[in-house]
Amino acid sequence: MAEGIKDKVAIIGMGCTKFGELWDKGPENLMVEAFQEAIEDAGIEKKDIGAAWCGTCYDEVSVGKSAIPMAATLKLPFIPATRVENFCATGSEALRGACYAVASGAYDICLALGVEKLKDIGYGGLPQNEVQWGTRFRLVFPNLTPPGAFAMMGTRYFAQHGINPQDGKHALARITVKSHRNGAKNPKAHLRREVTIEEVMNAPIVAWPLGLFDCCGVSDGAAAAIVVRADLAKKFRPDPVYVKSLQIAASSGEEMAYTEWDYAHVETTARASQRAYREAGIKNPREEISMMEVHDCFSITELVTYEDLGISPRGMAKEDVEAGFFDLDGKLPCQPDGGLKCFGHPIGASGLRMMYEMYKQFQGKAGPRQIKNPRLGLTHNMGGIPPVNVVSVCIVGL
Amino acid sequence: MIGITSYGAYIPFYRMNRMTIYGALGWLNPASLLPGEKAVANYDEDSLTMAVASAMDCLGGIERNKIGGVFFATTTAPYRERQNAGIIATVLDLRPDIRTSDFTASAKAGTGAFISAYDAVTSGSADNVLVCAADCRLGKPAGYLEEVYGDGGAAFLMGDSGVIASVEGTHSVSYDFVDHWRADEDRYNRAWEDRWIRDEGYGRFISEAISGLLRKYKLAPKDFAKVVYPCQYIRAHADIGKNLGFAPNQIQDHMFTATGHTGTAYPLMMLVAALEDAKPGDRILVASYGNGGDALVLQVTEEIQKARDRRGIRKHLASKKDLGSYEKYATFRNILGIDTGGRGEEVASTQMSTLWRERKMVLALCGSKCRRCGTPQYPPQQICANPKCGAVDEMDDYRFADRRGALFTYTSDLLAFSLSPPAIYGFVDFEGGGRWFFDLNDCDLESLSVGMPVELSFRRKYHDVARGIHGYYWKAIPVRA
């Protein structure tokens, strides 16, 4: 009988670079910076690490394939190193590899590192990699970008719930304004300017109904975590953060090829979160979870995620948003660090960046963004597009 | 009896008023102004896609496995080597044991393909031959031909049962009269002096072909309900019929001010228009012009009444939108070398082996239908996508191309590179089941709504100039009335 990993693994050190358009830094520099902060924070040395996972997505425009660039750049001493990739959920995948390796008993200490260098491609948005869905699908996919793929969820959500587009866009703007308010308080965030509802709603359209401010930052950055066996954690520091669950769900193909899915929710989020709640022993997430970092690649993604995670009832996330439920001073603060929206989204690093914020919050080191007495934190990291994707849900606590 | 058993046509959605061209470039050539408008292919249309659209109109409810050949006429084939008719046959999901041929290099190639199909059926070497003709020719900017040329296509099925218009005779003349030409290395057509063309070529060869035909079959102009021949010069067009002894009401409307000169497709598109109005017993004379010309006699039968549900010319002519600007036209035809930006420069390599393996999926839009649970699905699946089924390798081919659907969701994307931004795309739920996402075209964001009916249109998906690849796929468009 599988036992899961609840309370078997603890995070004892983390590092995260500033995210942004880091024109003077290459991915190698970013890896070193995140890694050095993490091992110094953990108080360990390189030789203590049993195995390492590196997450990077668009390897062809940054570090290259395999875990070799990480191992060679960090001068890891001939330890097992693995590269993982799961689109935008890559960072969480690296963390999962490290956590499960420790939980298995194979290693005492593991490293998870995520890195992405997006701003060396010469144009805005993510790299135009036509074969990222495979050489077969490339022949039959529309001329699609991520904003458009998520915008179609906005069109659907509005139609399904009978929301007129202006009201819908207002709720989405409210989500964005909240994240900018939080991001402005975060020195490591990419975008640090507060915005108004009017600015957001009047911004140029990128993909209807999403405007410029409905889209997250496209950034460079890296983040890293040192995880250890839970029973060893207190030897390293008095305030480790324990992993309660780390679940992942990949699309079964039925969302895309069958006709029952409504495109107004993300099925994998619902599946992964239910599994994570079961493993963590959470009965009522709306009441029990203290804070969240969700995958707000676009404002509409954050809106449906509230429902898919079982926090807001179906079709009711808009009411929670407008009531300030997810604000920093609300009942369940979401994106306290600014989220993908403002902290930025260097693909491979994002899942670990979310965890960095949870970790710092639990240790009371979140400065002006500090949430009072958090008990459980949740990260939600999504890779792919609504019809075909992979979602990771991780729950951590004291 | 051998002749036309079905017909269809295609005229692209966009039109351009010739005044728009004149407004942009008339200062270079003040004497060039022509009246009316011309049909303009969208940026993702070419002679191949328009031939497919005409063929789809023609084949309506006809079983594809009855087709025994495809003859494609054009002077603007996307490929010089890779048979274009063979691509069309694959797109239409025809069986492989058929004859396919391209007919080209003259505006009379359309009637040439038509007569060859008639000969093939007559000789018994093929039955039910599909003839399609389409052209998308370029006149050099600021030249007269740029205003003359329009885009469009026509298709006929030639067979020996259910004939709606039988072929009763043909006559051809051939001269190496070099009025318009385009060498291997040319993009644009060239022409000699118009007065010479009009008086020594256009004004003579159509008459010569028609006179020869009348003599050969002992017919006179009064024996015909309609005479169909292309228009190169509006007044000269009227004079040809008049001088041959046809009354003005016998001369088929030339559409020159509605579509422009559509090359190989032109006389065949006019023939479709003539058939739309024809009555049983009508005799129609069709002639083409180009390095000589072909002429043929058609006799309309009672079966014509069964062939009225085509879009043909009339409905396609009525369904239109003005393109608006010359710059847009010049961008669509790659006359302006626009800055596509870094994103637009990225074109992945096309793996010919993948394309061959997946040709039914890509070109014919074939998915699969589960034998166990009946679920249609796209792209073709080996394991049934219905979570309650999951059958393995129990699939039959299932063609989505000729099915309509409802728009399930959509967006218009300004980040994606498009020659006509914003890029619009969405998911389509097909009648009878199945769902896939497609680029949408011939529409704007404001015209779309969740649930609206859409249909599919075969289009060029990408043009990989560096590797010489015209990549094709299907797009969704609002149903054209």
pLDDT band at B32 (very low <50, low <70, confident <90, very high): confident
Q: Are strands A291-293 and A376-385 parallel, antiparallel or unpaired?
A: parallel
DSSP string, B357-420: HTHHHHTS-EEEEETTT--EESS--SB-S-TTT--BS-EEEEE-TT--EEEEEEEEESSS--SS
- Would you state the pLDDT for residue B31? 84
Instruction: Say whether A258 and B377 touch across the interface (CB within 8 A).
Output: yes
Band the pLDDT of A361: cuts 50, 70, 90: very high
Residues 456-475 of B with CB under 8 A from A: 461, 471, 473
> How far apart, in whole angstroms, are the C-alpha atoms of residue B480 and residue B404?
11
**Residue B348 is nearest to which of A124, A138, A257, comparing CB atoms?**
A138
How large is the average pLDDT for residues A177-200? 98
- Is A215 tagged catalytic? no
Looking at residue B61, its pLDDT comes to 87
Q: Which residues of B touch A205 (CB under 8 A)?
A: 412, 414
Which SS3 state, helix, strand or coil, does residue B125 take?
A: coil
The answer to whether A88 is a known catalytic residue is yes
CB contact under 8 A, A139 and B362: yes
Q: pLDDT tens digits, residue range B317-371?
A: 999 999 999 999 999 999 999 999 999 999 899 999 999 999 999 999 999 999 9
- Of A59-63, A201-205, B216-220, B453-457, minimum mean pLDDT range: A59-63
Nearest CA in chain B to A139: B362
The values of phi and psi at residue A33, to 5°, are -60, -45
> Nearest CA to CA, how far is B46 from chain A (Å)?
19
Q: CB–CB of B413 and A131 under 8 A? A: no
Q: Do A136 and B358 touch (CB under 8 A)?
A: yes
Residues in B touching A257 (Cβ below 8 Å): 377-379, 381, 385, 435
Give the pLDDT score at B123.
97
Respond yes or no on whether the N-terminal peptide bond of residue A146 is cis (omega within 30° of 0): no
Residue of B345, B351, B403, B411 to mutate when probing chain A, most A C-beta within 10 A: B411
The residue-averaged pLDDT of B133-143 equals 96
pLDDT exceeds cutoff 80 at A1: no
CB B113 within 8 A of CB B131: yes
Q: For residue B83, what pLDDT is reported?
A: 98
Q: Which stretches of chain A are DSSP H helices?
A: 27-42, 68-74, 90-103, 146-160, 165-183, 197-202, 233-236, 254-257, 267-280, 285-288, 299-308, 317-322, 339-343, 347-362
B381-393 core/surface letters (b: 16 or more CB in 10 A; e: else): beebbbeebebee
**Which parts of B175-262 are beta strand (E)?**
180-181, 190-191, 226-228
pLDDT per residue as tens digits for the range A294-306: 999 999 999 999 9
B413: nearest CB among A124, A145, A387: A145
Q: How confident is the model at residue B145 (pLDDT cuts 50, 70, 90)?
A: very high
Cα separation of A223 and A112, whole Å?
A: 8
Q: Show residues of chain B in contact with A259, CB under 8 Å.
A: 429, 433-435
Residue A175, min C-alpha distance to chain B (Å): 21
pLDDT reading at B105 higher than 90: yes
A163 CB-near residues (< 8 Å, 6+ apart): A157, A171, A318
Torsion of CA A7, A8, A10, A16, to 10 degrees: -100
Residue B276 has pLDDT above 80, yes or no: yes
The CA distance from B423 to A393, in Å, is 33
**Which chain A positions have a beta carbon within 8 Å of B414's beta carbon?**
204-207
Buried b / exposed e over A55-84, threshold 16 CB at 10 Å, is bbbbbebbbeeebebbbebbebeeebbbbb
The interface predicted TM-score (ipTM) is: 0.96
Taking residues B180-207, report their average pLDDT.
96
Would you call B346 and A142 a contact, using CB atoms and an 8 Å cutoff?
Answer: no
Output the six-digit token pair for A111: 């490293």
Q: Which residues contact A198 (CB under 8 A, 6 or more apart)?
A: none
> Cβ B409–A206 below 8 Å, yes or no?
no
pLDDT digits (tens, 9 = 90+) for B34-82: 999 999 999 999 999 999 999 999 999 899 999 999 999 999 999 999 9
Smallest Cβ–Cβ distance between A208 and the set B436, B445, B461 belongs to B445
Q: Do B450 and A155 touch (CB under 8 A)?
A: yes
B341 reaches A (C-beta below 8 A): yes
Contacts of B378 in chain A (CB under 8 A): 257
Residue A10's CB is within 10 A of a number of other CB atoms, namely 24
pLDDT of A188: 98
C-alpha–C-alpha distance, residues A43 and A39, integer Å: 6
- The 8-class DSSP code of residue B103 comes to E
Among the partner-chain residues A147, A155, A258, the one whose CB lies closest to the CB of B387 is A258
Pick B427's closest partner by Cβ from A141, A154, A263.
A263
Q: Which of B346, B377, B422 sits opposite A130 (nearest CB)?
A: B346
Name every residue whose Cβ is closer than 8 Å to that of residue A329 and which is 6 or more positions away in sequence: none
Residue B410 near residue A155, CB atoms below 8 Å: yes
Q: How far apart are CA B263 and CA B285, in angstroms?
A: 19
**Contact check, Cβ <8 Å, B415/A123:** no
| Residues of chain A with a CB closer than 8 angstroms to some CB in chain B | 121-125, 128-131, 135-145, 147-148, 151-156, 159, 204-210, 252-254, 256-259, 263, 387
Other beta carbons within 10 Å of B195: 9
User: Based on the number of CB atoms within 10 Å of its own CB, is A129 exposed (0-12), middle (13-18) or buried (19 or more)?
Assistant: middle
CA-CA-CA-CA torsion sign (B181, B55, B129, B122): negative
pLDDT of residue A396: 98
Mean pLDDT over B437-455 rounds to 97
A202-224 pLDDT tens trace: 999 999 999 999 999 999 999 99
pLDDT, position A129: 86
| Calpha distance A325→A302 (Å, rounded) | 13
Strands B129-135 and B152-159: antiparallel
Per the omega criterion (within 30 degrees of 0), is the bond before A142 cis?
no
Residues of B in contact with A153 (CB under 8 A): 409
- Residue A122: CB atoms within 10 A of its CB come to 11
User: Residue A18 carries which DSSP code?
Assistant: P
| A141: nearest Cα among B348, B456, B229, B473 | B473
Question: Considering chain A, what is the average pLDDT of its residues?
Answer: 97
Instruction: Determine whether the interchain pair B445/A122 forms a contact, defined as Cβ–Cβ distance below 8 Å.
Output: no
> Does a cis peptide bond (omega within 30 degrees of 0) precede residue B30?
no
In chain B, what percentage of residues exceed pLDDT 70? 100
Q: Which chain A residues are Cβ-neighbours of B379 within 8 angstroms?
A: 136-137, 140, 257
Q: Which residues of B50-88 are buried (b: 16+ CB within 10 A; e: fewer)?
A: bbbbbbbbbbeebeeeebbbbbbbbbbbbeeeeebbbbb
Q: What share of residues in chain A are helix, strand, coil (percent, to 5)?
A: 40, 20, 40
* A chain contacts of residue B389, beta-carbon cutoff 8 Å: none
- Those residues with Cβ within 8 angstroms of residue B403's Cβ, 6 or more apart along the chain or in another chain: B430, B431, B432, B456
Q: Which of residues 360-399 of B touch A (CB under 8 A)?
A: 361-362, 375, 377-379, 381, 385-387
Q: Which residues of B touch A151 (CB under 8 A)?
A: 411, 413
